[in-house]
Structure 1
């Protein structure tokens, strides 16, 4: 087999991630407008500030995780993978999926179990949406960069 790459599947995945990003942006805007209309402005502003602080803290780990996932997916697009390589990539993909599912479940439980105070729940929801959005943006950026360098 030739030592090349077939990025068709990865290109479709990136397109799907763009659609998900658009949905998350609409959801974020809708939730923000709803909170702004139904919550006192000081609580809303404090929620935004807390969200920004937490998002700055979360950015690097999310970026590293997305970079690891994107590089793995680009490497899995190689047309000359041995069965052992495919098995190793499958295990890495499964590990990444378990981590993503665990974080999703953590955020859902955290949102549901948080105190019913608006100052506590809104930042958690904003952080969840922004962290997910950040992951998809970092993944797409790194995957495209890796595709250009390999293909």
Structure 2
């Protein structure tokens, strides 16, 4: 059981490393403003995420099976590591540490990408506002009625 869990963790680690690689490529694509490549990368990311979710469900089932007689309601990988014998214990700890490191790196990279996309959108909005200023609101409010009255007022007083 521990060997199968180790294999699943190795597969998860590979998928997460591959996803991190895609996130790093995405950073460069965002810098280049290549929308088509960005769409392609996002499609690849979705496939990776689906595979990771499947592996994660399998891993959770294996942890529950390994700790079937445990009193813990929500068994976790650390519980399996604590019960494992020494050679498997060190391997599982190493895989867990590597997985956490890659996931942390992935989290930081995704945050960077999100921030870059947000800044790009802000730049686009500012550029659009400069090129095409907003027209005054046509809603019924005191301010808009006063603004519309000044626009409709003639330069000549016809009653004079």
Note whether the superposition's TM-score is higher than 0.5.
Answer: no
Structure possessing the higher radius of gyration over alpha carbons: 2
The bucket for the TM-score relative to the shorter chain is: 0.3 to 0.5
More helix by share: 1
Q: TM-score, length-normalised on structure 2?
A: 0.39
Q: TM-score, length-normalised on structure 1?
A: 0.41
Greater relative contact order structure (CA < 8 Å, 6+ sep) = 1
